[in-house]
Chains A and B, each alone.
Chain A
Amino acid sequence: MPRIRRELYNKEICACSIFGAMNRDSERFTGAGVMKAIANMHVRGNGLGGGFAAYGIYPQYEDYYAFHLMFTGRSVAAKLSAKKELDAFLCQKFDVVYDEEIPHGDEATVSDPPLVWRYFVLPKKQGEDSLLSDEDYIVSNVMLVNTRIENANVFSSGKNMGCFKGVGYPEDIGVYFMLDKLYSAYAWTAHGRFPTNTQAWWGGAHPFGLLDTTIVHNGEISSYGTNRWYLEMYGYACTLQTDTEVIAYAADLLMRRQKLPIEIVAKILAPPIWNAIDQMNETEKKLLTTLRMVYAPLLMNGPFAIIIGQTGRMIGLTDRIRLRPITAATRGEMFYLSSEEASIRLISPQLDRVWTPNGGEPVVGELNSMRKVLQ
């Protein structure tokens, strides 16, 4: 029997800035403001990663899954060879209705950019796969590409949305992909990265996405090893050498596959402490005890603040003892989440309401509805 090699995975450790802006009336706006806001938190990053997720940017292709791919490699030939392999795979598994290189500006602002391409696709399910839902089919094929095809990485796979990310300060990445000129979205999230222990690579930047769920994350997940084995049991391959992807996969598992509402998901990722649970009424106590019992391996331990982006909504959440706070604010139909209040004030000096949510308490902004859950 071949010996099982030990798991020499690397967990990324990083400090970061995160920002999100959403128009709840679905009015779309360019990335200019978000780029300005995240640039204001320049010192929270170190130029080794920045990225954006934008929702509502592909209305002309809204029924198709938009795959953003990066092809890495030392030479142009290596990148093209990865693309060739990927193209063959895609043609076999999907109907590609349109594809193009993602337009970009001056390469001088970023270092060593990969070839970044987008494909608009529909699943072409055959054989046993026809039993899968479209979404499960997409997820399993994204996992396949990311684990099997060397130098090819699907970093965005939802409908009518997309991630843009790379090595550099986020404002530079924004300029590189011309987010302030080419795209308008009803919701944007952004991330500036300060990694301390991994080599900078384009795939390692935030946001992390699977289908239309994206995560930008500030912090370190101390429970990574535990979260990871649990998610691997459900078929999620953690390939990106970062702890953030476990949050993306946990969100996918709980929200899409198990269809749990965000209030419940928040109580799984950042549950109340036992002392608090023991004081609750019987119904709440039973619910929270059961959640902690069943989903113990998905508790995200260690300091974190995250913004989860999904079609139609944006969710902010911090760890249960709020080691990384997040600021939420509203102005008219605009809803903001940020590591620092100053960044929100920079682009919207007047605010209707500004607050710092408690640890483990999700703040949810939805199109045309805004609620603070379990107040």
Chain B
Amino acid sequence: MKSFVFPEFEIIRDEEKCGQCRGCERQCAFGTHTYDPVADRLISDNYKCVGCQRCVIFCPKDAIVVRPTQSFYRPNASWSREKLEDLKKQAETGGVILTGCGTDKQFRIYWDHIVLNASQVTNPSIDPLREPMELRTFLGAKPDLMDISAKDGDVEIKTSLSPNLMVETPILFSAMSYGAISYNAFRSLATAACKSGTYFNTGEGGLPQEMRDEFGRCAIVQVASGRFGIDAEYLNCAQAVEIKVGQGAKPGIGGHLPGEKVSAAVAQTRMIPMGTDAISPAPHHDIYSIEDLSMLIFALKEATNYEKPISVKIAAVHNFAAIASGIVRAGADIIAIDGLRGGTGAAPKAIRDNVGIPIELAISSLDRRLRNEGIRNRCSIIAAGGIRCSSDVIKAIALGADAVYIGSAALIAMGCTLCQKCYTGKCNWGICTQDPRLSGRLNVDIASQRLSNLITAWSHEISEMLGGMGINALESLRGNRDHLRGVGLYEWELDVLGIKGAGE
């Protein structure tokens, strides 16, 4: 059937500059560029281009420009180009439109409507280059009070404490499974987490055997509805266990790793036959209620001898705050909430772009809910989904999060350009693929260096902003909405965020 969809991108090649080295041809897994030996020139097929910019960056002669196509349908405010094309594609295939990465739709980004405070006169700002600035954070349940006996200067702690994760900076790598991402990308995240004093999350695809000794100390292992790769050693080699209930990019639905991506190593790690589809059901089939979740939480605590905090990750949906409160009462030590703009390796576009609520509003309402119930100290909140820079992190913390997960930001640090073709398994950047030719492009040393540089840079910026507010420990900013003001927001939005408008 002839497709009625025209190309998204057009490729402009400067024939003067092009040296016919065929680098672009090798770089593109989508087969966009081909060499014509007769004419001794490279030919590009706009229809195949996904706009990932790999060939542009790696062209030694800087001869290629990839830009959105000039072609257009008659402009129509209701029928945007995307709506038209999606419809045409479905008419041609009868299928669900798949996509990757977080939603690119114009939902209000509250981070960009919140401004931070700074000290003037009455309270000295602190220079982080000269004074200590503390970002260390503990994630897990804290007791309501401590029983301490003090006798002649000898102090003894009588309260038994829940296990906590200590991070040197409140930024953790979000769950991205081996299988969805390449071994090199996975290992780069692990390496950078250990180097930067933080944690990476294995996602639902298990933790390869040979990585357990070295990287278990900075791993959070996930237990998802597919239960891939789970055994006692997997749970116990890590520092925390996370039950994945939902994901911000696709709340309410499961996951599907196509058989093509299930290589021998992936199959071994996931404990499934090679080449079979790895399907994570939409719900956990042993969790149909909050008491079922509680049983799983305590089963995992039993399995790990009550030595690891248990996290529960849910997508931020309409009444999630009440659900999260139930999850805390069910025994979770950490609640990870993933907002509307959270990323994914594959999701139906209709779900990604229409389900869930923005993370900024979610953090604030969850923090408030737990405070009102007097159980805020019984869990930590990790916020995920749409954290793009250090100021997003600091605003998340002032709204009530204990730390953040970054997923897309980490992938971008490794080279990702958010082309949204993760689900094809042909990632030219070697991140979201199991093709050894492609994944070999990602050098673990370089990628992990880029990731730890990112953590270092953000931590510096967070310290700088914190010092400006006259605060020298991050814990004094947690839930401290007094340091935030809203600009260009409606009253109801300020109410939900719990912040004043600028100038108020």
Contact = CB atoms under 8 A, between A and B. Distances in A.
B472 A321 contact: yes
A20 interface: no
Interface stretch (B91-99, B132-140, B274-282, B416-424): B132-140
Given A8-B500, A264-B155, A293-B142, A302 B480 contact: no
B123 A303 contact: yes
B327 to A, nearest CB: 18
B471 A223 contact: yes
A374 to B, nearest CB: 8
B119 A222 contact: yes
A286 interface: yes
B472 A301 contact: yes
A37 B377 CA distance: 43
Given A8-B504, A222-B123, A229-B376, A3 B492 contact: yes
B412 interface: no
B164 interface: yes
A254 to B, nearest CB: 9
Interface in B200-238: none
A232 B145 contact: no
Interface in A266-316: 273-275, 286-287, 290-297, 299-303
A4 interface: yes
Nearest to A287: B155
Given A261-B150, A264-B155, A273-B132, A7 B481 contact: yes
A234 B473 CA distance: 23
Contact of A297 (B148, B478, B492): B478
Contact of B476 (A226, A264, A303): A226
A223 B143 contact: no
A274 B123 contact: no
Interface string A202-241: 0000000000000000011011111001101110000000
Residue with the greatest number of chain A CB neighbours at <10 A, chosen from B155, B161, B374:
B155
B368 A4 contact: yes
Contacts of A234: 374
Interface in A64-122: none
A218 to B, nearest CB: 11
A196 interface: yes
A241 to B, nearest CB: 12
B143 A294 contact: yes
B104 interface: no
Interface stretch (A10-18, A21-29, A48-56): A10-18
B483 interface: yes
Contacts of A11: 482
Contacts of B472: 301, 320-321
A290 B123 contact: no
A7 to B, nearest CB: 6
Contact of A302 (B134, B148, B155, B471): B471
A199 interface: no
A297 B157 contact: no
Contacts of B483: 222, 225
A226 B477 contact: yes
Given A223-B476, A258-B146, A275-B132, A5 B495 contact: yes
A346 interface: no
Nearest to B131: A321
Nearest to A300: B476
Interface string B468-504: 0111110111111111000000001011011110001
A6 B124 contact: no
B481 A225 contact: yes
Nearest to A13: B122
Contacts of B497: 6
Contacts of A219: 123
Contacts of B469: 222
Contacts of B504: 8
Interface string B351-372: 0000000000000000010010
Given A233-B377, A264-B155, A287-B157, A293 B164 contact: yes
Q: How large is the interface on A (under 10, 10 to 19, 20 to 34, 35 or more residues)?
A: 35 or more
A288 B377 CA distance: 18
A144 interface: no
Contacts of A226: 475-480
Contact of B136 (A223, A232, A274): A274
A296 B499 contact: no
Residue with the greatest number of chain A CB neighbours at <10 A, chosen from B134, B371, B377, B473:
B473
A62 interface: no
Contacts of A297: 377, 475, 478-479
B405 to A, nearest CB: 20
A222 B155 CA distance: 30
A300 B472 CA distance: 10
A274 to B, nearest CB: 5
Given A3-B495, A8-B500, A13-B122, A299 B475 contact: yes
Contacts of A129: none
A6 B473 contact: no
B150 A263 contact: yes
A258 B146 CA distance: 7
Given A229-B376, A287-B155, A303-B123, A294 B161 contact: yes
A15 B121 CA distance: 10
Nearest to B478: A226
B148 A264 contact: yes
A342 interface: no
Nearest to B117: A222
A272 to B, nearest CB: 10
Given A294-B142, A294-B161, A6 B498 contact: yes
B357 to A, nearest CB: 16
Contacts of B492: 3
A7 B157 CA distance: 36
A225 B121 CA distance: 20
Contacts of B157: 286-287, 290
A309 to B, nearest CB: 22
Contacts of B470: 220, 222, 301-303
A351 interface: no
A260 interface: yes
A354 interface: no
Interface string B441-484: 00000000000000000000000000001111101111111110
A264 B159 CA distance: 15
Contacts of B495: 3-6
A207 B478 CA distance: 28
B482 A225 contact: yes
A270 to B, nearest CB: 11
* Interchain residue pairs A-B with the least CB separation, the first 6: A223-B476, A225-B480, A301-B476, A296-B475, A225-B482, A220-B123
10 contacts: A5-B495, A225-B482, A226-B476, A232-B371, A275-B132, A286-B157, A293-B138, A296-B142, A301-B472, A302-B123
Interface of B: 119, 121-124, 126, 131-132, 134, 136, 138, 142-143, 145-146, 148, 150, 155, 157, 161, 164, 368, 371, 374, 376-377, 469-473, 475-483, 492, 494-495, 497-500, 504
Interface of A: 3-9, 11, 13-15, 196, 219-220, 222-226, 229-230, 232-234, 257-258, 260-261, 263-264, 273-275, 286-287, 290-297, 299-303, 320-321, 323
Given A223-B476, A229-B479, 19 more contacts: A6-B494, A6-B497, A11-B482, A222-B471, A224-B482, A225-B480, A233-B374, A233-B376, A258-B145, A261-B148, A261-B150, A263-B150, A264-B155, A274-B134, A294-B377, A296-B478, A302-B470, A321-B131, A323-B124
